[in-house]
Amino acid sequence: MMDGSPNDLSHVVEADRAHIWHHLMQHKPFETNDPRIIVEGKGMRVWDQGGKEHLDAVSGAVWTVNVGYGRERIAKAVYDQLMKMNYFAGSMGSIPGALFAEKLVEKMPGMSRVYYCNSGSEANEKAFKMVRQIAHKRFGGKKHKILYRDRDYHGTTIGCLSAGGQDERNAQYGPFAPGFVRVPHCLEYRAFEQEGAPEENYGEWAASQIEKVILAEGPETVGALCLEPVTAGGGVIVPPEGYWQKVREICDKYEILLHIDEVVCGVGRTGTWFGYQHYGIEPDFVTMAKGVASGYAAIACLVTNEKVFELFKDDDTDPLNYFRDISTFGGCTAGPAAAIENMAIIEEEGLLENTTKMGDYMLDQLQALADRHEVIGNVRGKGLFLGAELVADRGTREPMAEAKVQAVVKDCMAQGVIIGATNRSVPGKNNTLCYSPALIATKDDIDQIIAATEGALGRVFG
């Protein structure tokens, strides 16, 4: 396949068309067009059923394959581990589970305990359950509310959608769980749409809006605040200057646990091990999934500090006093076996440094593209996690129609470059092109991504 010669996969295509319910897709077009099957991958590139090569600028479509495709070293480690011991429930330990946890918390000063499960949604649910249990144990059930932010996403379950700040993603899936409360977003480019937003010190103001919600709800009812360090699917929102420091202060002031959802940013995406580490703050919960093993095995982790952990073992005479939760597949050993190698690759190949360097280069290139194309209203990003917001009018910042944004993505795909876009997420604001190439991206790769985007913008907008 990598030599470009198509194998005959017509039976696979027909089986897919007949039986696969694809994720996040309207299926009507498959009645007349073939579904795309990704057959093989190496480095930054993937090949489809027709043998066509694509440069993947989104790491498996959803910012996941951080170390790139075809890593033999990870596959071998997983094979060896599966032959030795594939599974035992997490009430027991495993060799890779213990060793990866040790390596992971070394990268997270202040954090100490790792709870394994198998998806980002599940990791977030675990944190929500811990917050609720702490409320019952210490505060008579009162301090149970969980704050989440407009435009953030924490997963697909009904619990996570209850903490979902993307109204179009949530639409038609309610009613949701009670006890989740929304706080305003912190996208400075759209500050003008927020009543009372100042021209200066927007970051502090945006954080103070969280405090306003806490005071309105009653601080004694608020148990936790759950935020993405840099919002992903809600539009690649890099928090403004001063925001995170103030958020931490507010949490301390009202004894609110801080839960940072690193499902996208975690393990290198923004050039540090974790996104929150750009801001010098210490969280109470960190959840992670996608990049932990780059998709070579399913693994997610909820990491807590010792303060949270201690709350669950302080009285062993109380039969309810521990975290009464299990994740069956959290006991799979392939995940931590893959994650150990994934982390070693990032260290040995200097991929954090590459991410920072190439991320800065790509941000500059996107900015230069914005200088040439009116339709790009705003460019933002951190490391190899970038977005370009498209607008119909630079003056009013009216968002570009989603269909046009999707036309840009489609044109890039036709050119053999896979980029992303915010997708049925925030009503009327699905207008941001998304880029998250693997952390191994080179200058040439980035030039190819930028050139494809420029060609597409030219064709779609003239």
Per CB under 6 A, does 163 bind ligand PLP?
no
Decide: 260 and 286 in contact? Cβ < 8 Å.
Answer: yes
Per CB under 6 A, does 169 bind ligand PLP?
no
* Cα gap 403→423, rounded to integer Å: 10
Tokens of 141: 């059930």
SS3 131: helix
Per CB under 6 A, does 283 bind ligand PLP?
no
Decide: 458 and 409 in contact? Cβ < 8 Å.
Answer: no
Q: Which is nearer to ligand PLP, 301 or 363 (CB)?
A: 301
Q: Which is nearer to ligand PLP, 153 or 273 (CB)?
A: 153
* Cα gap 282→266, rounded to integer Å: 14
Q: Which long-range contacts (CB under 8 A, 24 or more apart) does 390-393 make?
A: 390/431, 390/432, 390/433, 391/431
Q: Which is nearer to ligand PLP, 121 or 327 (CB)?
A: 121
Instruction: State the nearest-atom distance from the C-beta of 72 to ligand PLP, in Å.
Output: 25
Among 49, 66, 119, 294, binds ligand PLP (CB under 6 A): 119
Q: Is 383 left (phi over 0), alpha (psi -120 to 50) or beta?
A: left
Which position has the token pair 């200057």? 241
* Cα gap 342→336, rounded to integer Å: 9
Among 44, 55, 62, 412, binds ligand PLP (CB under 6 A): 62
Instruction: State the nearest-atom distance from the C-beta of 298 to ligand PLP, in Å.
Output: 8
Per CB under 6 A, does 266 bind ligand PLP?
no
**Could you tell me the strand order of the sheet in which 38-42 lies?**
38-42, 45-48, 53-56, 417-418
Q: Which is nearer to ligand PLP, 186 or 264 (CB)?
A: 264
Q: Which is nearer to ligand PLP, 354 or 422 (CB)?
A: 422
Per CB under 6 A, does 121 bind ligand PLP?
yes
Which position has the token pair 């669950």? 312
Per CB under 6 A, does 233 bind ligand PLP?
yes
Decide: 392 and 408 in contact? Cβ < 8 Å.
Answer: no
Per CB under 6 A, does 228 bind ligand PLP?
yes
Among 46, 258, 264, 408, binds ligand PLP (CB under 6 A): 264
Q: Is 272 left (phi over 0), alpha (psi -120 to 50) or beta?
A: beta
Q: Is 196 left (phi over 0), alpha (psi -120 to 50) or beta?
A: left
Q: Which is nearer to ligand PLP, 233 or 271 (CB)?
A: 233
Among 289, 358, 409, 460, binds ligand PLP (CB under 6 A): 289
Per CB under 6 A, does 155 bind ligand PLP?
yes
Size of the residue set binding ligand PLP (CB under 6 A): 16
First-to-last CA distance in the chain?
A: 35
Per CB under 6 A, does 235 bind ligand PLP?
no
Window of 80-88, 148-156, 362-370, 397-405 that interacts with ligand PLP by CB under 6 A: 148-156
Instruction: State the nearest-atom distance from the C-beta of 62 to ligand PLP, in Å.
Output: 5
Per CB under 6 A, does 150 bind ligand PLP?
no
Which position has the token pair 């009013």? 396
Q: Which is nearer to ligand PLP, 133 or 231 (CB)?
A: 231
Per CB under 6 A, does 243 bind ligand PLP?
no
Q: Which is nearer to ligand PLP, 94 or 124 (CB)?
A: 124
Per CB under 6 A, does 166 bind ligand PLP?
no
Q: Is 158 left (phi over 0), alpha (psi -120 to 50) or beta?
A: alpha
Among 74, 127, 232, 408, binds ligand PLP (CB under 6 A): 232
Window of 29-37, 50-58, 115-123, 209-217 that interacts with ligand PLP by CB under 6 A: 115-123
* Cα gap 292→108, rounded to integer Å: 14
Per CB under 6 A, does 423 bind ligand PLP?
no
Tokens of 30: 């498959």
Per CB under 6 A, does 261 bind ligand PLP?
yes
Closest to 248 in 3D by CA, of 291, 279, 215? 279
* Cα gap 48→39, rounded to integer Å: 5
Instruction: State the nearest-atom distance from the C-beta of 97 to ligand PLP, in Å.
Output: 19
Helix ranges (DSSP H) in 241-350: 243-253, 306-310, 334-348
Q: Which is nearer to ligand PLP, 124 or 448 (CB)?
A: 124
Residues that bind ligand PLP (CB under 6 A): 62, 119-121, 124, 153-156, 228, 232-233, 261, 263-264, 289
